[in-house]
Amino acid sequence: MGSVRPAPWRRAAVVAALMLAAFTFNTTENLPVGLLSLMADDLRVSLTAVGALVTGYGLTVAVGSLPLAHVTRSVPRRHLMSGLLAVLAVASWISALAAVSYGLLLVARVATALAQALFWAVMGPVAVGLFAPERRGRIIGLLSVGGSLATVAGVPAGAWLGGHSGWRAPFAVLGALAVVSLAVVAVLLPTSRPQESHSAYGAAPDRRRFAVVLTTTALSVTGAFTGFTYIVAFLDEVSGFGQDAVSAVLMAFGAAALAGVTVAGPLLDRFPRATLTVPVAGQTVALIGLYVGGSGQVLTVVLLMLLGASVAPLFMATQSQVLHVAPGRTETALAANSAAFNVGVAVGALLGGALLPLAGIRGTFLVGGLLTAVALVMLSWPESVVSRATVDAPEPGIR
């Protein structure tokens, strides 16, 4: 990167490769959800054990993000990104081996999760560093489209391929996609020291705002997954949708998520506060609305689409905000935000499970909406009332 930017076609190719890599990582993370029964039967393990491949993946990302970002902060990004994509390719192909055992599959998943933890921390600075500073938000938006396509297209396509060709086939395809990304990044991404790029540091460092953004990520994601983890049961028991209809409703959710990211991405640079506050408000309305009106099928579909259009842009907006207000190196700050996201997923699922026998499925959406409302209130506070006791202490690894 440095002071001389590559030719426009090289920059576009690198961004496209990173979008493909984001798609591949996110599909890999959630693919076992669509192949649950096939994998359990073939590996002779329980459904819970296969589910642990997803849960353990997210926890590994949450735990590994900050330490890995700190340890690798001086490694040239072309070398680092090439290594991460190589891990993704090799681990995917190991997962596709005919003789793979559950234990070896688990090792491959942990390796991929560690690579993903670092990938999400450095992908943003690498991509935005290729362009002028005023285009940071737009580039983050493009990368987020790649990640969102995994939910809309990657996992469903993987589940379809697995049903026709065996569950290993999708992992083989993902390994091939990783090699494509690797080849482009290894050849076209310039080699330079990370700190030479304008994207290595926040454009307007603000420790208070950074703390608010991290808290918003944690609260909103916890709120979303407190209810959404049990959305299939909600659609069945509360809204009365049949199994075939549930799949269609979830596809509508995914399409709305992709639309939300696509619309919000170009607005991140012009309206940084609004592109974060509006999705949090939308998520609050959607979750509480599902608690109140979830028995109506039409209203449920509308509210779920609102939820999808809010949840997906929310993480994108927090990533863009972190790049702007990071109090130190951006990759460490982004790693902290990624860790907050993955902790929110895990805590939300656990909280929802604990609430089920106490408040029922509808109650999980109410609690999720209230947690998101707290995040909305925090975003609405004037900066002067943010507690110094909360934000003045340095974040772990952020210097």
Q: What is the pLDDT of residue 386?
A: 45
End-to-end CA distance of the chain: 22
Q: What is the pLDDT of residue 57?
A: 87
The SS3 call for residue 201 is: strand
**Rounded CA gap, 62 and 114, in Å?**
9
**Rounded CA gap, 62 and 335, in Å?**
9
Predicted structure pTM score:
0.81
Residue at 395: amino acid letter: E
Q: What is the pLDDT of residue 278?
A: 96
**Rounded CA gap, 75 and 78, in Å?**
9
- In angstroms, the Cα distances linking 345 to 90, 109, 272, 278 are 27, 18, 24, 21
Q: What is the pLDDT of residue 172?
A: 96
**Rounded CA gap, 187 and 196, in Å?**
20
Give Cα 159 to chain centroid, integer Å: 20
Q: For 271, which DSSP code? A: -
- Position of tokens 């210097």? 399
Torsion of CA 93, 97, 101, 106, to 10 degrees: 10
Q: What is the pLDDT of residue 49?
A: 87
**Rounded CA gap, 105 and 160, in Å?**
21
Q: Counting every residue, how long is the chain? A: 399
Q: Tell me the two tokens of residue 226.
A: 């407190």
Question: Other CB atoms closer than 10 Å to residue 383's CB: what's the count?
Answer: 10
**Rounded CA gap, 230 and 73, in Å?**
38
Three state DSSP letters for 106-132: HHHHHHHHHHHHHHHHHHHHHHHCCCC
Q: Are 18 and 78 in contact (CB under 8 A)?
A: no
Question: Other CB atoms closer than 10 Å to residue 160's CB: what's the count?
Answer: 12
User: Given its phi and psi angles, is residue 359 left (phi above 0), alpha (psi -120 to 50 degrees) or beta?
Assistant: alpha
Q: Are 5 and 130 in contact (CB under 8 A)?
A: yes
- Would you write out the chain's pLDDT as a tens digit for each of its 399 residues? 444 577 889 999 999 999 999 999 999 988 887 787 889 899 998 888 887 888 788 889 888 988 998 899 888 889 999 999 999 999 999 999 988 899 999 999 999 999 999 998 899 889 888 888 778 888 888 888 888 888 778 888 888 899 899 999 999 999 999 999 999 999 999 887 766 677 778 888 899 999 999 999 999 999 998 988 888 889 988 999 987 788 788 888 888 988 998 899 889 888 989 999 999 999 999 999 999 999 999 999 999 999 999 998 998 899 889 988 989 888 889 889 988 988 888 888 889 888 988 999 899 999 999 999 999 999 987 654 444 434 443 443 443
Phi, psi of 218 (to 5 degrees): -60, -45
Q: Which residues contact 349 (CB under 8 A, 6 or more apart)?
A: 55, 225, 226, 229
Q: Where are the alpha helices (DSSP H) in the chain?
A: 8-34, 36-43, 47-71, 77-95, 102-128, 136-149, 155-165, 168-188, 207-228, 231-237, 243-264, 274-293, 297-325, 330-380, 388-391
Select from 157, 189, 205, 179 the least CA-distant residue to 325.
205
Question: Other CB atoms closer than 10 Å to residue 261's CB: what's the count?
Answer: 28
Give me the helix-helix angle, 36-43 and 8-34, nearest 10°. 60
Q: What is the pLDDT of residue 4?
A: 54
